[in-house]
Chains A and B, each alone.
Chain A
Amino acid sequence: MRNTLRTNSTGTWRWWGAIGIFGIALAPALPLFWQAFASRDGWLAGRGFPSALFNSFQVALAVAALSLLIGLPLGVATALYEFPGRGSLLAVVTMPILVPSFLWAIGWSALTAHLGPDVTAALSGHTGCVVVLLAAAIPLVLWVCHAATRNISGSQIEAARLAGGERTVLKYAIAHVAFSGVLVASLAGVLTLADPGPGLILGLRTAASEILTSFAARYDFNLAGRQCVYLTLAVLMLAIPMAIVAAPRLTAELLPRQVRSGQRSWHASVSWVLALGLFAVGLAFVILPWLGLSLPLTQSGHWSRALQEVRRTWLDTVIYAVGAGSIATILGFLLGFFAGKNHRLQVVSLGVALALFAIPPSQASLGVIYLSTNSPAWTDDLLRSRLTVCFALSIRFFPIAVVLGMRAWNSMSPSWAQAAYLHGVSPVRYGRMVVIPFLAPHAAIAGLLIALLATAEIGTVLLLQPPGHGSFPLAIFTVMANAPEGLVASLCFLYLVLATILLTGVFSLARRRLA
């Protein structure tokens, strides 16, 4: 790049760059896709797949709608107001992002088993799956809406307050962040499509559970591959129109903004209602299933064995999370750079990113295994190491980094590059002094969010972990079936406590930085 103006220019190099990034993200899944359609079975997807796909989309739609309905007002209000128990309540509500969904499903299942068959029936099938999957979707929407609300300048909030009081402030803020809320709620909905756990545990045939059945009961990689492709295509058909609507808004965020955020205020009734609302969400989606998981502790705990598992797995868990967050952020922000202000490329990138989100992680993981198996031994450090796990986890969650990356790049004013050019600043210096410092906070948020989500992902780690390098959630997953209930409960309890400590630490650090 000869001068800084090239960062604003259009050209085919942007398309090639984006294709390259998507190529990297898709590469692991391609061998199985290819085999699936080259096989003699043709294009069949299995008898029950269409109805399972329908079930999946019903659940995804319900999760997206309800997470938006609950997460958006809470996200806006937490950004605007102080309230009692702020740190603890936010930590509790956020915890499900860190916890694999199967744990919540088991928690609910254990709890309803104690409450009787009527409750069990009420919380099975569609309803049960929606309740379990909402737990992680709500905090995703909440935090994105929170961040979007913090982008509203202090003077805008003050003006709205003067014009019509708190009601106007809330209405204005909700309207401002609605677009981001809808986008992330859709992402959360798509994310549920690839998760087989709740469906299997709570008795609903979903597309992901069909794919899992093809893998784990029929050992038919080709059928599973075709089902993955159909699921991805179905998402793509929905994602492209959504991306067409979304892309202009990303461009619109180019408008210069005042950077001073509004101070959070204390408003007696709003603050208490907000605290109660967060408590209700925490109770319904976190505390109750946690109670279900912890019930066996009333009879026996296996603390020393549980602590031994923590000691054995903590380092690998951290490496996988940090590695996945870093690689996904690099890929996502690179794609954001290539997409630039090119409207068509933005639409395609968003649509493909959403569709990629729907590919079950097992598909990409098995593809990586095929790749490594058919590569020479000297590639093992790349294809059979912890770095491989980080990479596979990162491509699972990189669509999140794509959305955040595109938004971050679009927030940069093109006049900065022009000014740098006029002053003869070299591209390297411009990147070091302007671009990186500007993008760093956005990248940190993306990296942290993906690291948290990657911690809870077990399918990828299960298939790709180098021998002896499992993660802590995987340790729970592999003992939960037949281990003493007290041990499973101890492990779950420790995991949730560690998650709470981690989140509380992150919040207090963030608050200190803001202060």
Chain B
Amino acid sequence: MIPKACVVLVLAGLLAGCSRSGSSAVAPAEVVVYASVDDVFSRPIVEKFEKDTGIKAKLVVDTEETKSTGLVNRLIAEKNRPQADVFWCGDPVRAALLKSKGVTAPYKSPQLEGMPLDFTDKEHHWIGFSARARIIIYNTNLVAKGEEPASVLDLLDARFKGKACMANPLFGTTSMHATALFAKLGDEKATNFFDGFSANGGKMLSSNGEVRRRVVNGEYAVGLTDTDDYNEAREEKKPVGAVYADAKGMGTVIVPNAVMMINGGPNPELGKKFIDYLLNPETEKALAESGAAQMPVRPGVPVPAHVTPLDKLTPMPLDYPQLAERLLKLADGYLDEWARKNAK
């Protein structure tokens, strides 16, 4: 027979599950933050916010990289009575998508003063800050100096036959990059690029992290990924280098973080305080110094030597709301078909 103590323990556990502390009923001095930015980068910032302001913050983290059903879906599903006050999104395309679905609320933060508005929604539904960039990572043992690719189109060269890789373009920042190529090059040239990539033996991998791993190991010579992935490999002293993709041509795809108020969130005032905190120069500096090596959007924020200031790059001019619309169409059309063909 099961000891009575066990039964009592089980019941106690269940009661604990019912407790107020476990429920979403958030006390007034708490702000709920959903973040699709990696836990290792977002949690220290949130903890510092708690320390500096005395406001308790509850964090729910997911990352688009992991291809989960994830927080964007949760926010859409919770739209009528949201639990979150703020969504800290890893890219502006999902932010624009949430705006189009009526999930976000406008907020013009006082911290916007002095910030360039290129990466911010015109109606202030989301605000862009600290950015990553799309890069081509290469293995320095396999790509000789002077032979590095400069453009994504270089991945179609015979010298990279069977040696290039990218992540699944249906997900994460690769999907944004792919859609940006369609916007910039037009449908025909963009499809030629993807078809040419496959024809040249290019490999689709599961994630940007996987691209980094396989290039580091020398299985592939070059790959498309983000600056934070490259920085990870750089810090671990792996034999890799990186170039900003298309820095000298059509421009590099810049992926800023985007923070937004959730429409009807339980504690909007605290949400605003969190957004203000996130947009201050100190946070951008901290993100630049972290493993994410993100580029501050605000000019003049000091960055470590390995982080390129944004004003030294040529960003690809992008209309993020249009990109969001186009991404949905491509995800249901050409990119889906391409990913299906290249799945194995």
Verify that A and B bind, or say they do not.
Answer: yes
A183 to B76 alpha-carbon distance, docked (Å): 39
Binds B, one of A74-82, A108-116, A162-170, A243-251: A108-116
| Contact in complex: A462, B13 (CB < 8 Å) | no
Q: Which residue of A203, A220, A300, A477 contacts B66 across the interface (Cβ within 8 Å)?
A: A477
Binds A, one of B188-196, B205-213, B310-318: B205-213
Interface assignment of A176: CB less than 8 Å from any CB of chain B: no
Residues of B within 8 A of A385 (CB): 17-19, 22-24
Residues of B within 8 A of A113 (CB): 213-214, 217, 219
Chain B residue nearest to A211 in the complex (CB): B69
Residues of B within 8 A of A48 (CB): 336, 340
**Residues 44-83 of chain B, each 1 if its beta carbon lies under 8 Å from chain A, else 0:** 0000000000000011111111111110111011111111
Residues of A within 8 A of B210 (CB): 109, 201
Residues of B within 8 A of A480 (CB): 66, 209
Q: 26 A-B residue contacts at CB 8 Å? A: A47-B336, A109-B213, A201-B206, A203-B204, A215-B73, A216-B69, A216-B73, A221-B73, A319-B22, A366-B69, A370-B77, A372-B78, A373-B81, A380-B23, A385-B19, A387-B22, A437-B1, A466-B24, A467-B84, A479-B40, A481-B65, A482-B38, A482-B229, A483-B39, A484-B291, A485-B232
Residues of A within 8 A of B79 (CB): 373
Interface assignment of B107: CB less than 8 Å from any CB of chain A: no
Could you tell me the distance in whole angstroms from the C-beta of B64 to the nearest C-beta in chain A?
8
Interface assignment of A444: CB less than 8 Å from any CB of chain B: yes
Interface assignment of A200: CB less than 8 Å from any CB of chain B: yes
Supplied contacts A322-B13, A485-B236, 6 more A-B pairs, CB within 8 Å: A200-B168, A205-B343, A385-B18, A387-B18, A467-B83, A480-B66
Interface assignment of A217: CB less than 8 Å from any CB of chain B: yes
Interface assignment of A34: CB less than 8 Å from any CB of chain B: no
Could you tell me the distance in whole angstroms from the C-beta of B12 to the nearest C-beta in chain A?
9
Q: Which residue of A110, A216, A384, A443 contacts B83 across the interface (Cβ within 8 Å)?
A: A384
Interface residues of A in 362-386 (CB under 8 A from B): 362, 365-366, 369-370, 372-375, 377, 380-382, 384-386
Shortest Cβ-Cβ A-B pairs, 10 listed: A481-B65, A467-B58, A384-B24, A386-B22, A386-B17, A468-B58, A385-B23, A369-B77, A387-B17, A217-B170
| Contact in complex: B73, A487 (CB < 8 Å) | no
Interface assignment of B26: CB less than 8 Å from any CB of chain A: yes
| Contact in complex: A373, B80 (CB < 8 Å) | yes
Instruction: Name which of B39, B72, B80, B168 has the most chain A CB atoms within 10 A of its CB.
Output: B39
| Contact in complex: B18, A482 (CB < 8 Å) | no
Residues of A within 8 A of B209 (CB): 480-482
Decide: A441 near B2, CB < 8 A? Known: A459-B69, A468-B58, A482-B40.
Answer: yes
| Contact in complex: A377, B208 (CB < 8 Å) | no
Give the A-B pair count, Cβ closer than 8 A: 227
Residues of A within 8 A of B84 (CB): 467
Residues of A within 8 A of B17 (CB): 319, 323, 385-387, 389-390
**B-side interface residues, number (CB < 8 Å):** 78
| Contact in complex: B63, A481 (CB < 8 Å) | yes
A326 to B77 alpha-carbon distance, docked (Å): 28
Could you tell me the distance in whole angstroms from the C-beta of B153 to the nearest C-beta in chain A?
25
| Contact in complex: B97, A384 (CB < 8 Å) | no
Instruction: Name which of A200, A218, A374, A468 has the most chain B CB atoms within 10 A of its CB.
Output: A468
| Contact in complex: A479, B20 (CB < 8 Å) | no
Interface assignment of A156: CB less than 8 Å from any CB of chain B: no
Residues of B within 8 A of A200 (CB): 67, 168, 206
A369 to B33 alpha-carbon distance, docked (Å): 17
Interface assignment of B5: CB less than 8 Å from any CB of chain A: no
The DSSP consensus for interface residues of chain A is helix
Q: Which residue of B14, B62, B72 contacts A323 across the interface (Cβ within 8 Å)?
A: B14
A463 to B72 alpha-carbon distance, docked (Å): 10
Binds B, one of A117-125, A261-269, A278-286, A408-416: A117-125
Q: Which residue of B22, B65, B73 contacts A469 across the interface (Cβ within 8 Å)?
A: B22
Interface assignment of B305: CB less than 8 Å from any CB of chain A: no
| Contact in complex: B59, A467 (CB < 8 Å) | yes
Residues of A within 8 A of B10 (CB): 322, 326, 447
Interface assignment of A212: CB less than 8 Å from any CB of chain B: yes
**Residues 407-425 of chain A, each 1 if its beta carbon lies under 8 Å from chain B, else 0:** 0000000000000000000
| Contact in complex: A374, B24 (CB < 8 Å) | no
| Contact in complex: B77, A219 (CB < 8 Å) | no
A319 to B206 alpha-carbon distance, docked (Å): 32
Interface assignment of A213: CB less than 8 Å from any CB of chain B: yes
